[in-house]
Amino acid sequence: MELQVKNISPNNFEQCIKCTICTVYCPVLSVNPDYPGPKQAGPDGERYRLKDPEFYDKALKMCLNCKRCEVACPSGVKIGDIIQTARIRYDHHRPGLRDVILASTDEMGSIATKMAPVVNTMLSLKPVKVIMDKTIGVDCHRTFPAYAGRTFESWMKHKAPDQTVYPHKVSYFHGCYVNYNYPALGKDFVKLMNAIGYGVELLDKERCCGVAKISNKLISQATRDAELNIRSIRAAVAKGQPVIGTSSTCIFTMRDEYPHVLGVDNADVRDSIYLASKFVHELVDEGKVKLVFRPDFHRRVTYHTPCHMQRMGWAIHSVELLRMIPGLELVPIESACCGIAGTYGFKKENYATSQAIGKELFDSILNASVDEVVTDCETCKWQIEMSTGVPVVNPVSILAEALDVEATRKANGL
Amino acid sequence: MIYDTIIIGGGLSGLVAGVKLASAKKRVAIITSGQSALHFLSGSIGLLSAVDGEPVSDPIASLEKLPENHPYNKIGAGRISSMAGEAADILKAAGIVVDGNAGETRYRLTPLGAWEPTWLVMDGIASCPHPSKCPWRKATVVNFHGYLDFFPEYVADGLREAGIEAECHEVKLPELVRLRKSCSEMRAASIAKILRGEVLRKLAIELNALGGDSEVLLLPAVIGLKSMQETEELQAMVKKTIRYVPVIPMSVAGVRAQSMLRNYFEKLGGTYFLGDSVSRGNFSDGRLESVHTANLGETVLEADDFILATGSFFSQGLVAKPDAIVEPVFGLDVDQTAERTERYDKNFFAPQRYMRFGVETDKEFRVSRGGKTVANLRAIGSILSGADPLKEGSGAGIALLSAVCVARKLITLN
């Protein structure tokens, strides 16, 4: 019995056949030889750690949690999950002030939106950036996303009565970014869903998905938030409403990281948690809804596959939707990590690694000479905009812009 | 989503079939769970190098000695030659330059310095029509300081046995020494990521400084992970001819072939689902109508025809259970011995029966399920029964030719 405890872990490390394919695709290992790499940090290290936690290597915090190792693994080993759970179980270093601030997107957002103009001005001032760099270690090269003056939730409150007229209903998981920084994306989502006959409601209660708290090891808070979110999602599903988000990372976290990393069971509702592009594309693909586009819409874009989108295998949905827009020219680029990994790239000690990882992607975006980059992840957006100067939009916003709303409503019998 | 053909498995065989079908304007999707065994391809492709333990000098003339259910016999000796030519052309179209033809065995150097018979050799890999007819009088074998997956002295011995004078040299590049920080990661793919641009220029200077009167420099095959650009650049800067010797995997030539074939397939309009796996198939009237995947959930993928290219035991196309060998995706009939004890020969070096196990197919490579042929599901590559790729040196050849054979059939059918 004792022997088995030391040999079996919940994530399937014993399936690793030591082929090393994962190490070819690890973006961190490619630029930073201090990182032991996914095979050694994951399944190899796990074998030792189960024998004695002393074998824990603090270099595991260099893992971006991009899961590209899992996508590459021919044996289906959950390498990223092994590394993240090892950090939670064995790294007893407490998160410092900076990490708590960066991870507390909800708490910071609700304060900052109340005094958005002041906060935005402060955060963009060079001296403030330098002070934050020197004192708490937030890299001074970074641009913080601006806070909105009014949250998406408060805008939705006024819109709620309009949403009752539609034949179908969905619940929207807006996430922190839409709520505090960029309500425009949420408004685009409502515009798109309404045009195809779906009313949008908010969840009873919504907290941050927890991705930033997980990577900054605020595990008890992340688990509390996860449990609250899953309770709200259950309530929506019980009403017959699928739950839809516009951020690939939020959706990935709620579908896969909750059970694998936080141990929060979501099996009963996991299949009802969608990304907007998947939900809409499936409806169109099955012939249940129609999209009609404006003839005067013209744009040359490329699609960037965020790492978590790659892991979910859903990029096809966004790409297929984009291909439906007649005036849109889609330039393919090779999938590569942008290097930001949420809060990772904001930390002073990671800035250089973050930019080195992203270089391959930035170069291919610049070579593609496009008007816009389309992607489903907001942190990829910040990173790509800062590093290439090319504007980045969510596929939902492109669809909402290219859509002929009246014609689409008519085509769907509204 | 609806396709003309869905290919399950994205290695050599699946990609070549995909490229040929997509070139014929078919709508093709490839679903692959993780990266493939192509990552272990050492830069050469064998057709048939031995039958019953006897070396073969003319592969086509020796086909008749193979067992009746051997994949080559299903293709038919009369067609092998033209298909071999076509397979080589497909690789060339994807940008993979190869030397050799089916009627004539070539010899290439192994990582341990032995000369092995083969068919196609990728551009730059050291090979010759026969060890006794090697074009070089004297060769210099060069290794990188600290690199342990390449054995210059063994290679030099192999050269000397073939009557070639050989000397060994080591080159020290600080950029590579840095890789040794992580003791397990000074490996072929990590080196290839560094040997570009300025570092490549430094290498060229070092190589030119070696001097001596040899005609050729033999380097470990660790340059050019995504394309041939770096090897071409290096040759342009170095006076002597450079040839490469395969190393312990990860094989850079294999990773490059995978990446180039996939890019070409996507350029032709093909869809590549990486990191996804077929969870179930819907059969009706002896046909496979559609499949579901782990990532796409309820999204159904329909096609007129399906190709199973999931590989052998390594890629889990076949799984060994205590009582039987099974094909895990659809539960197809597997050609195998009834008794577990008959799978193996106790002499490790003797031919092993389990190597010939694989899915049962008819003359057109159609599989069967519960004793009944599935009319539109064909198998290709190493999942096929009847061959012993290790003893015959036929693994990659079967992958290529069965792919071309089945793709041709599907093009003429529809």
Q: What is the ipTM of this complex?
A: 0.92
pLDDT of residue B269: 94
pLDDT digits (tens, 9 = 90+) for A147-189: 998 999 999 999 999 999 999 999 999 999 999 999 999 999 9
Residue numbers in B near A334 (CB within 8 A) = 263
3-state helix, strand, coil split of chain A in percent (to 5) is 60, 10, 35
Q: What angle do CA A214, A217, A219 make, to 5 degrees?
A: 70
Interface test with A, best of B30, B39, B185 (most A CBs within 10 A): B185
Contact status, residue A371 vs residue A350, Cβ threshold 8 Å? no
Lowest-confidence segment of A130-134, A292-296, A313-317, B64-68 by average pLDDT: A130-134
Smallest Cβ–Cβ distance between A72 and the set B34, B298, B316 belongs to: B34
Q: Report the residue of chain B nearest A285, measured CA to CA.
A: B1
Domain chopping of chain B, boundaries: 2-101+255-413, 126-245
Across the A:B interface, residue pairs with CB atoms under 8 Å apart total 101
At A170, is the secondary structure helix, strand, or coil?
Answer: strand
Residue numbers in A near B274 (CB within 8 A) = 71, 310, 313
A130: distance to nearest CA of chain B, Å?
Answer: 31
Residue numbers in B near A19 (CB within 8 A) = 39-40, 249, 314
Look at B255 and A33 and tell me if their CB atoms are within 8 Å. Answer: no
User: Do the domains B126-245 and B2-101+255-413 match in fold?
Assistant: no
Statement: residue A394 has pLDDT above 60 = yes
pLDDT digits (tens, 9 = 90+) for A357-376: 999 999 999 999 999 999 99
Contact status, residue B343 vs residue B353, Cβ threshold 8 Å? yes
Residue numbers in B near A278 (CB within 8 A) = 299
Residue numbers in A near B295 (CB within 8 A) = 312-314
Residue numbers in B near A70 (CB within 8 A) = 275
For residue B33, give the nearest of A18, A38, A72 by alpha carbon.
A72
Contacts of residue A172, Cβ cutoff 8 Å, sequence gap at least 6: A186, A189, A190, A200, A201, A202, A203, A243, A244, A245
Residue numbers in A near B296 (CB within 8 A) = 313-314, 316
Mean pLDDT computed over every residue of chain A: 93
Residue numbers in B near A306 (CB within 8 A) = none
Fold of B2-101+255-413: FAD/NAD(P)-binding domain (3.50.50)
Task: Name the helix (H) or strand (E) containing A164.
Answer: none
A165: distance to nearest CA of chain B, Å?
Answer: 28
Task: Name the helix (H) or strand (E) containing A74.
Answer: none
Look at A313 and B187 and tell me if their CB atoms are within 8 Å. Answer: no
CA end-to-end distance (rounded Å), chain B = 19
Give DSSP secondary structure letters for A319-332. Answer: HHHHHT-TTEEE--
pLDDT of residue A360: 94
At A374, is the secondary structure helix, strand, or coil?
Answer: strand
Pick the CATH number of A2-90 from 1.10.1060.10, 2.60.120.260, 3.40.50.300, 3.40.640.10: 1.10.1060.10
Q: How far apart are CA A334 and CA A21, in angstroms?
A: 18
Contact status, residue B18 vs residue B406, Cβ threshold 8 Å? no
Statement: residue A286 has pLDDT above 90 = yes
Look at B273 and A282 and tell me if their CB atoms are within 8 Å. Answer: no
Helix-then-strand count for chain A, H and E: 24, 8
Look at B275 and A72 and tell me if their CB atoms are within 8 Å. Answer: yes
Contact status, residue B252 vs residue B221, Cβ threshold 8 Å? yes
| Token pair for B367 | 């599989």
Q: What angle do CA B282, B288, B289 make, to 5 degrees?
A: 65
Name the DSSP letter for residue A388: H
pLDDT of residue B58: 86
Domain chopping of chain A, boundaries: 2-90, 299-402
Look at B37 and A74 and tell me if their CB atoms are within 8 Å. Answer: yes
pLDDT of residue A5: 67
Distances (CA, A) of B167 to A172, B108, B155: 69, 19, 10
pLDDT-above-90 percentage for chain A: 77
Q: How far apart are CA B139 and CA B241, in angstroms?
A: 10
Contact status, residue B102 vs residue B60, Cβ threshold 8 Å? yes
| Token pair for A179 | 């709520």
| Token pair for A361 | 């992607």
Task: Name the helix (H) or strand (E) containing A94.
Answer: none
Contacts 24+ apart (CB under 8 A), B114-117: B114/B158, B115/B158, B115/B162, B116/B44, B116/B49, B116/B393, B117/B46, B117/B49, B117/B50, B117/B55, B117/B56, B117/B393
How many CB atoms within 10 Å of residue B212? 11
Look at B35 and A285 and tell me if their CB atoms are within 8 Å. Answer: no
Look at B296 and A313 and tell me if their CB atoms are within 8 Å. Answer: yes
Look at B185 and A36 and tell me if their CB atoms are within 8 Å. Answer: yes
Look at B274 and A310 and tell me if their CB atoms are within 8 Å. Answer: yes
Smallest Cβ–Cβ distance between A72 and the set B35, B178, B184 belongs to: B35
Please tell me the CATH code under which domain A299-402 is placed.
3.40.50
Look at A21 and B314 and tell me if their CB atoms are within 8 Å. Answer: no
Look at A313 and B37 and tell me if their CB atoms are within 8 Å. Answer: no
3-state secondary structure chain B: CEEEEEEECCCHHHHHHHHHHHHCCCCEEEEECCCCHHHHCCCEECCCCEECCEECCCHHHHHHHCCCCCHHHHHCHHHHHHHHHHHHHHHHHCCCCEECECCECEEEECCCCCEEEECEEECCECEECCHHHCCCCEEEEEEECCCCCCCHHHHHHHHHHCCCEEEEEEECCHHHHHHHHCCCCCCHHHHHHHCCHHHHHHHHHHHHHCCCCCCEEEEECCCCCCCCHHHHHHHHHCCCEEEEECCCCCCHHHHHHHHHHHHHHHHCCCEEEECCCEEEEEEECCEEEEEEECCCCCCCEEEEEEEECCCCCCCCCCEECCCCEECCCCCCCEECCCCHHHHCCCCCCCCCHHHHCEECECCCCEEEECCEEEEEEEECHHHECCCCHHHHCCHHHHHHHHHHHHHHHHHHHC
- pLDDT per residue, tens digit, chain B (414 aa), is 999 999 999 999 999 999 999 999 999 999 999 999 999 998 999 999 999 999 888 888 899 899 999 999 999 988 998 999 999 999 999 999 998 887 788 999 998 999 999 999 998 999 999 888 888 999 999 999 999 999 999 999 999 999 999 999 999 999 998 888 776 778 999 999 999 999 999 999 999 999 889 999 999 999 999 999 999 999 999 999 999 999 998 899 999 999 999 999 999 999 999 999 999 999 999 999 999 999 998 889 999 999 999 999 989 999 999 889 999 999 999 999 878 888 989 999 999 999 999 999 999 999 999 999 999 999 999 999 999 999 999 999 999 999 999 999 999 987
Task: Name the helix (H) or strand (E) containing A384.
Answer: helix A378-388
Please tell me the CATH code under which domain B126-245 is placed.
3.40.50
pLDDT of residue B104: 81
Rg (CA), chain A: 21
| Token pair for A199 | 């009313």
Q: Report the residue of chain A nearest B39, measured CA to CA.
A: A21
Mean pLDDT of A121-146: 87
Lowest-confidence segment of A14-23, A103-112, A321-330 by average pLDDT: A103-112
Q: How far apart are CA B139 and CA B358, in angstroms?
A: 43
pLDDT of residue B245: 96
Query: Which of A90-94, A262-266, B120-124 has the highest mean predicted lDDT (pLDDT)?
Result: A262-266
Task: Name the helix (H) or strand (E) containing A40.
Answer: none
pLDDT of residue A361: 97
